[in-house]
Structure 1
Amino acid sequence: MDTVRTQVAIIGAGPAGMLLSHLLAAEGVESVVVETRSQEYVASRIRAGILEQSTVDLLHGCGLGERLAREGDRHRGIYLQWPGERHHLDFVDLTGRSVWVYGQTEVQKDLVEARRAGGQVIHYEVEDTALHDLETDSPAVTFTDSGGVARRVVADAVAGCDGSFGPSRGAVPDDVRRTWEKVYPYSWFGILADVAPSTDELIYAWHPDGFALHSMRSAHVSRFYLQVPNDTEADDWSDDRIWEALAARLGHGQDGWTLTPGPVTDRSVLPMRSHVSTPMRHGRLFLAGDAAHIVPPTGAKGLNLAVADVALLAPALAALVLKDDHRPADDYSDTALRRVWRCTHFSWWMTTMLHQSGDPFERELQLSQLRWVASSEAGATGLAENYAGLPIGF
């Protein structure tokens, strides 16, 4: 077995893992990244598209904001809508903070380019990844690389950035790990369409037929979501049915507003669930991103929460491996989880406020809450503060 030594072994080459390697390199810490999927697969996953203020500030601060500044689309807020009503919540007026439309695929491109320029060691398409000796000072990761060579990476710490299906979360022993989970009784049916957005800001729409969201990826590409039952298959929906449902739920014709349809280029069904796994540190293993927590996408927190994790984790690991200072690493899990639970609550709050459960009583409560948020400065500020993003380390 081929064995190498590094300071941090990172499992997962998505945004969390690649950003962590970038931040560690800036601290003078070496790392090796291993990834089960191909580079092309990781780069092409159509996921999050909204970056909160703290994420944008971090990307600029670590030298990854040039293309974001040039091609990203800054948004002041969102529209909150229900039949006959549409209200703009201006985050800048309310909190002084804004959000950016810049897709996860674009963030990944920037990270890959930066790590390639930095000479980062990355192993794609690996198999049989396993973690060892996590409660020692020399944990290790073993895997078989794409050429069939068995490899062992011995490190000072291991960072599990490999999502909910990777091996890192399961490496925390059952008698140590605690999990909390909520599975929602509906899913999102998402589409990409080659058509200019019909709105200047995202529209979050409550409707008796189910929630709808009008988002965007660029000046020429729009992103839409529809609430659907959990057993929905993407092929169940024809293009005509998609646009008819979006027009009805988003208020086509309301106050003269029109929805412009276009060619659908991608469609998928996304289950809605919340999951938190604690602790986020066991021995020399540190979890970040989806390996530790998943939130429904309603609050646009998933990618941003992963960025907040690694923003805490990078200096903690640098202190640990360069200075033998254990304090930031010892505090990492508790500090990160404060933000995780805040964002989990906000995502639950947005989700339950906007989606149909089938309960007439809950429907009236939702409308009452929507009216309060739209008419109360305190209610609008609370939504804006959470959506635009709390400071790193909250």
Structure 2
Amino acid sequence: MRTQVGIIGAGPAGLMLSHLLHRQGIESVVLEKHTREYVERRVRAGVLEQGTVDLLNETGVGERMRREGMVHHGIHLRFGGGTHRVALDELTGGRGITVYGQQEVVKDLIRARLEAGGTIQFSAEQARLLDLDTERPRIQYLHDGAPCELECDFVAGCDGSHGVSRRSIPDGVLAVLERTYPYAWLGILAQAPPAHDELIYAYHERGFALFSMRSPKLTRLYLQVEPDEQIEGWSDDRIWRELHARLETDDGWRLNEGPIIEKGITGMRSCVVEPMQYGRLYLAGDSAHIVPPTGAKGMNLAIADVRVLAQALAAYFETGDTTALERYSPTCLRRVWRAEHFSWWMTSMLHRSPGDDAFQQRLQRSQLDYIVRSRAASTSLAENYVGLPLDWGRTDV
């Protein structure tokens, strides 16, 4: 089989890239090692930046998001017994965020690709990327137990930090810059109506907590825990007690409890590989970078990456010009490092680290107090939170 662009991974990055290429008349094949049911049920991020929302709408896959997504115009910082709202729309000229689960974006993109006649091969296992430094890279894999080979002009690695794409790049080509944080997040999904209509970030002496949601009937909540914690040590009762302690204040606001239908512990780290390309392989999304979830940047960065890549590939197939492809990595990395810094900043400001003394805690409180008292500081937070314009990373300006 032959196509113009072979895409590894049917997450938001791979599917959006295939969708964008289709709109430019460029053929692609998406290979995904898991089943369709698995990728459509995999719960991940849920906060969409304004630019991501705009792109979904502009490219015809935003109809269900507009109907079911929850638009937020602010977030709340809770510390020192008080709650302070950061008005995102007022500080950014009307921009905001939309709460809409990553798995819902994946469902919408899969449906759009299949209705347009696109090729997504699920359960494509044991992929091997070959001849990446030639004009005819190949992907060998098994599908339904049978050996297959896909020849293409370019390969897009959208299969995450543990996928085959990054591992296929020879040793010594990539610089890997990373940081591991001394805490983790315990996250739950509860069948309970959200008790508030916007996200709440809580800095507390017992550790960070986050109130979020996935729908009018589902609440998403997070607790800072030790990185070596085991989920078996956290009963539902213990989780709710800790959430009440860290999130509730004296003003009478209370969480709504309900059955916990999902819970797990995730370590927190930052990682960036440079460059994001090798030969005719281009990395996008988690294949190239990981951010701690505090700033809600992971899926949004993936969408921004493939928008840049789709434009560069369109320029090549239309004119043969490789300039935009050569700029792909520096263009994306400028935006990636801005998001990495913002995510690190939010994480460092809101979490309690082992060994933190009273001096460090006073610094964190001072930073939070400055944000809610200074329009300049709150504008900086809001601008980064709703997302910089999708063309922000351009290297020609």
Normalised TM-score (structure 1): 0.97
Contact 1:83 1:251 in 2 (8 A): no
Of 38-47 and 169-178, deviating more is 169-178
TM-fit CA distance, 1:83: 3.0
Partner SS, residue 5 of structure 1: coil
Matched, 1:217 2:214: yes
1:257 alignment partner, SS class = coil
Letter matched to residue 339 of structure 1: R
- Of 360, 363, 375, which aligns to 1:362? 360
Q: Which residue of 2 aligns with 1:86?
A: 83
1:296 and 2:281 correspond: no
AA aligned to 1:242 is: I
1:180 is the counterpart of 2:177: yes
- The answer on 1:261 being equivalent to 2:264 is no
Q: Is the 8 A contact 1:180 1:277 kept in 2?
A: yes
Give the partner amino acid of 1:36: K
Supply the distance in 1 between the matched residues of 2:38 and 2:203 (Cα, whole angstroms).
34
Can you list the C-alpha shifts for 1:77-99, whole angstroms capped at 9, x where unaligned? 10001131210000100012100
SS at match of 1:131: strand
1:208 matched to 2:200? The reply is no
SS in 2 for 1:60: helix
Secondary structure of 2:321's partner? coil
**Which residue does the alignment assign to 1:41?**
38
- For residues 247 and 341 of structure 1, the distance between their equivalents in structure 2, rounded to whole angstroms, comes to 35
Corresponding residue number in structure 2 for 1:327: 323
The residue number in structure 2 matching 1:341 is 337
Deviations 1:12-70 (A, max 9, x none): 01111011000000000000111111111111111101000000000001001111111
* Matching residue of 2:25: 28
Match of 2:270 in 1: 274
Given the alignment, which residue of 6, 13, 16 partners 1:19? 16
Residue type of the partner of 1:112?
A: I
Trace 1:138-177 onto structure 2 (pairs within 5 A).
138-145=136-143, 147-177=144-174
**Which of 222, 229, 233 pairs up with 1:236?**
233
CA distance in 1, matches of 2:221, 2:130: 43
In 1, distance between residues paired with 2:286 and 2:86? 29
| C-alpha distance in 2 between matches for 1:140 and 1:352 | 43
C-alpha distance in structure 2 between counterparts of 1:140 and 1:372, whole Å? 54
Where does residue 347 of structure 2 map in the other structure? 351
Q: Alpha-carbon deviations, 1:341-391, whole Å to 9, x = none?
A: 000000000000000013112211111100011111011000000000000
Post-superposition offset of 1:322: 3.6
CA drift of 1:239 comes to 1.2
CA positional deviation for 1:281: 1.2
Look up the SS of the partner of 1:256 in the other structure: coil
| Letter in structure 1 aligned against 2:350 | L
**Is 1:118–2:122 an aligned residue pair?**
no
* 1:148 to partner: Cα distance: 1.3
1:149 deviation in Å?
1.2
Q: Which residue of structure 1 lines up, in the alignment, with residue 7 of structure 2?
A: 10
- Counterpart mapping for 1:64-79 below 5 A: 64-79=61-76
Any idea what SS the aligned residue of 1:316 has? helix
Q: Structure 2: where are the runs of 5+ without partners?
A: 393-397
Aligned residues: 389
Contact 1:143–1:151 under 8 Å retained in 2: yes
Cα distance change, pair 83–251 in 1 and its aligned pair in 2 (3 A): farther
User: 279, 283, 292: which one pairs with 2:279?
Assistant: 283
Contact 1:7 1:321 in 2 (8 A): no
Computed over aligned residues only, the root mean square deviation of the Cα atoms, in angstroms, reads 0.9
Counterpart for residue 382 of structure 1: 380
Cα distance change of structure 1 residues 313 and 153 upon mapping to structure 2, 3 Å threshold: same
Determine helix, strand or coil for the equivalent of 1:67.
helix
Determine the C-alpha separation between the residues in 2 that align with 1:117 and 1:43. 16
- The residue number in structure 2 matching 1:133 is 131
1:32 counterpart SS class: strand
SS of 1:255 mapped into structure 2: coil
Q: Distance in 2 between matches of 1:118 and 1:236?
A: 47
Q: CA deviation at 1:173?
A: 2.0
Q: Following the alignment from structure 2 to structure 1, what is the Cα–Cα distance between the partners of residues 219 and 381?
A: 24
Matched with 2:395 is none
Q: Deviations over 1:111-156 (max 9, x none)?
A: 11101101111111122211111111111111111x2111111111
Q: 1:308 is matched with which residue: 304, 307, 311?
A: 304
SS, match of residue 195 in structure 1? coil
- Please say if residues 339 and 393 of structure 1, whose CA atoms lie closer than 8 Å, have aligned partners that are also in contact: no
Alignment of 1:90-101 (within 5 A): 90-96=87-93, 97-101=95-99
AA partner of residue 356 (structure 1): R
Counterpart secondary structure, 1:199: coil
Residues 136-194 of structure 1: CA distance to partner in whole angstroms, max 9, x if unpaired? Answer: 1111111111x211111111100000001111112222221101010001000000000
User: 1:194 aligned to 191, 196, 200, which one?
Assistant: 191
Inter-partner Cα distance in structure 1 for 2:350 and 2:17: 34
Query: Is there any run of 5+ residues in structure 1 with no aligned partner, and where?
Result: none
Distance 1:156 1:269 in 2: 40
What's the CA shift string for 1:185-221, capped at 9, x where partnerless?
1000000000011111100000010000000001110
Q: Please give the TM-score of this superposition, normalised by the length of structure 2.
A: 0.97
